[in-house]
Chains A and B, each alone.
Chain A
Amino acid sequence: MNEPNLAKRWLKHAEKDPSAEAIVHWVAGETPKRWCYGDLMLRAGGFAQELTSRGVRPGEVCAIIARHNPDFYPLYLAIVFLGALPAVLAYPNDRIHPDKFRRGLMGMAQKSGLDWLLTEASLTPILAPLIDGEHSTLRGALFPFEWPESRATPNPVVQSAASAALLQHSSGTTGLQKAVVLSHHAVLDHLDAYAKAIHLSSEDRIVSWLPLYHDMGLIAALHLSLGKGLPLIQMSPFEWVSAPVLLLIALFEERGTLSWLPNFAYNHIALRANEEDLEGVSLAHVRMLVNCSESVRAESHDRFYDKFSRYGLRREALAACYAMAEATFAVTQTEPNKEARKLVVDRQALAEGRVEIASPSAPSRTCVSSGKPIEGCETRIIDEAGNTLGEARVGEIFVTSRSLFDGYRNEPEKTAEVLQNGVYATRDQGFLYDGEIFVVGRKKDLMIVAGKNLYPEDVEDAIGAVPGILLGRVVAFGMDDEGAGTESVCVIVETPLVTPGEQETLRRLIKQAGMAIDVTITRVFLAKPRWLIKSSSGKLSRRDNRERALAELDGG
């Protein structure tokens, strides 16, 4: 049978060249652990046997919660080998309160139906109530990293091309988190189409610091490498964020040619890189840095290029793409060896929905292209009334793709809201120009901070219980943070407190409430009771209140 199947694809690569590099597990200052394709498959085969002997069955959902670990990769492969579904989840960081983490996990377990937790033994205290609890849908928790190393020739359960291969969870707390289901054919078709769009070759080496629970890290780094028989140099996101220059060092040391980055990363790296760290480093062989996951800002590319051109970085390497988990990953991609196109447009006209090249004196906005649709994908710009708009008009971006998701697991209504007749409504605002997609904003209230989606509802819920805030009278929104190249989180709350001391305390408590869900609230606007206005739907309008707050209130 020649049907697309992940396990078969991986084994094919291993058979062709078992000694080829598959994963380079990179740790700063240490010798990397190098997996070659052959050994990676054997180790995965070993894990698959162990998982089966402990009761894991085909079709079951296995959530992996782990830090940067060299055995993560064979474990992930093992789950697919036994025909089960991997779901990579974020390891709780220090800021998250264990209760919040546990509740989020419980919600996910019930909603998307998690069957097994494959995790580190150190998380047992936090997870115990979850597994032993009466309403638990979980079959159990396993600690594969504690097991003695075993190897075995894989004997995969080959699921059909149309069957679910993996789950990709979106961010957000219970009630808002959705699990995107991707089939074998969706993933493999996408890898093949995307590889064409970026001219992927056997010489390519992908370097990534991205977390593997995020679709860009999972698909553009892990799956793209393994699916195409190329090496992935994987760094720890925690290490990278504290020392962002490590990406450039890894690109040089491992002769990486490709890397995918959210926009804020360009600013983050440019801010921290110093000459001492970069002594002897050359970026001449980096053929593409792909900006994706949040608004692409021209300023970020410029800042990055200005800083690193002296190390051989070429402008043509600055690429971009527009992607989403619901389409497996990329929908559009800029051309290889060509800098992502910039358009300087009239700011006022853009606000009115028209794209006009700005005259020199007019207030302008520089929009950066995310490229043309990849093979098998189509985009359309639709106005409020549902009509298809031509080029140079702003509207909502609708997507069709050969690699569209099957739906949100166990959420038929939420799926139907955005997926109709094979067309996905992205709720992103953008326009077409010379066939290229430019993303300019968002229809939904979603915030994207450092490349990660953040629901305003989650922030509002977290701070809602702070004493001094009128019940339910709180609104969260994002604001462009030019310095950081991403958004920062702001809130407006109604409070009867008036003395400076009380207000200062309230601000501090609100910021601390944000910290408990690992969100940094940058500005707190305090308003008097009844200040927030409602939209025609009767709900507090985040958009309208945001504008008023910026104009009328003091944000501290």
Chain B
Amino acid sequence: MITDKLKQAILRELGLASWDLSAETVATEVPGWDSLSHVRVLAAVEDAFAIRFRSLEVLRLKNVGELQALVDKKLATKK
């Protein structure tokens, strides 16, 4: 389940008013989400949730669902 908060963080960074982001969505399908903007999207997600990703953690993320799972894991270990 992709949270609204994650969706908003991503869409805002990409300058998209709306886009259907599901767990299976991959970056290449989303306008403007390329390898350069990807690092800005990750930075935006970090800021939105006050978490920090390690490079190895984000390296092999395949889709938005895996990003959500990583965010959830980070939030859980934060508390």
The answer to whether A28 and B35 touch across the interface, beta carbons within 8 angstroms, is no
Residue A417 at the chain B interface, CB threshold 8 Å: no
With A29-B56, A277-B55 in contact, is A242–B31 under 8 Å at CB? no
Residue A344 at the chain B interface, CB threshold 8 Å: no
Q: Which of B36, B55, B61 contacts A268 (CB 8 A)?
A: B36
Residues of B within 8 A of A522 (CB): 32
**CB-nearest residue of chain B relative to A277?**
B55
- The A-contacting residues of B in range 14-41, CB under 8 angstroms, are 26, 28, 31-32, 34-40
The answer to whether B35 and A271 touch across the interface, beta carbons within 8 angstroms, is no
Residues of B within 8 A of A87 (CB): none
With A271-B39, A450-B36 in contact, is A95–B28 under 8 Å at CB? yes
Query: What is the CA–CA distance of A522 and B32 in the complex, to the nearest angstrom?
Result: 7
* Shortest CB distance B60–A (Å): 8
Residues of B within 8 A of A511 (CB): 31-32
Query: What is the CA–CA distance of A138 and B75 in the complex, to the nearest angstrom?
Result: 54
Residue A16 at the chain B interface, CB threshold 8 Å: no
Residues of B within 8 A of A512 (CB): 31
Residue A239 at the chain B interface, CB threshold 8 Å: yes
* Shortest CB distance A273–B (Å): 8
Residue B12 at the chain A interface, CB threshold 8 Å: no
**CB-nearest residue of chain B relative to A96?**
B28
* Shortest CB distance A203–B (Å): 28
Residue A348 at the chain B interface, CB threshold 8 Å: no
* Shortest CB distance A140–B (Å): 31
**CB-nearest residue of chain B relative to A238?**
B35
With A94-B26, A242-B59, A249-B55 in contact, is A520–B39 under 8 Å at CB? no
* Shortest CB distance B9–A (Å): 16
Residues of B within 8 A of A201 (CB): none
Residue A12 at the chain B interface, CB threshold 8 Å: no
- The B-contacting residues of A in range 447-498, CB under 8 angstroms, are 450, 484, 486
Residue B42 at the chain A interface, CB threshold 8 Å: yes
Residue A65 at the chain B interface, CB threshold 8 Å: no
- How many residues does chain A have at the interface if contact means C-beta atoms less than 8 Å apart? 31
The answer to whether A272 and B54 touch across the interface, beta carbons within 8 angstroms, is no
B35-79 vs A, Cβ < 8 Å mask (1 yes, 0 no): 111111011000000001111101101000000000000000000
Q: Which of A94, A239, A264, A271 contacts B59 (CB 8 A)?
A: A239
Q: Which of B36, B55, B58 contacts A520 (CB 8 A)?
A: B36
The answer to whether A271 and B40 touch across the interface, beta carbons within 8 angstroms, is yes
**CB-nearest residue of chain A relative to B38?**
A242
* Shortest CB distance B14–A (Å): 10
With A520-B34, A520-B36 in contact, is A271–B43 under 8 Å at CB? yes
The answer to whether B55 and A245 touch across the interface, beta carbons within 8 angstroms, is yes
- The B-contacting residues of A in range 243-286, CB under 8 angstroms, are 243-246, 249, 264, 268, 271-272, 274, 276-277
A501-545 vs B, Cβ < 8 Å mask (1 yes, 0 no): 000000010011001001010100000000000000000000000
With A94-B26, A244-B39, A271-B40 in contact, is A508–B58 under 8 Å at CB? no
Residues of A within 8 A of B55 (CB): 28, 243, 245-246, 249, 272, 277
The answer to whether B42 and A272 touch across the interface, beta carbons within 8 angstroms, is yes
Residue A241 at the chain B interface, CB threshold 8 Å: yes
With A29-B56, A272-B55, A276-B54 in contact, is A241–B40 under 8 Å at CB? no
**CB-nearest residue of chain B relative to A481?**
B36
Those 7 A-B pairs whose CB atoms lie nearest each other, nearest first: A243-B55, A241-B35, A511-B31, A94-B28, A520-B34, A272-B39, A95-B28
A-B contacts, 25 of them at CB < 8 A, read A28-B59, A94-B26, A95-B34, A241-B35, A241-B38, A242-B35, A243-B58, A244-B39, A246-B59, A264-B36, A271-B39, A271-B40, A271-B43, A276-B52, A276-B54, A277-B54, A277-B55, A450-B35, A486-B36, A511-B31, A515-B28, A515-B31, A520-B32, A520-B37, A522-B32
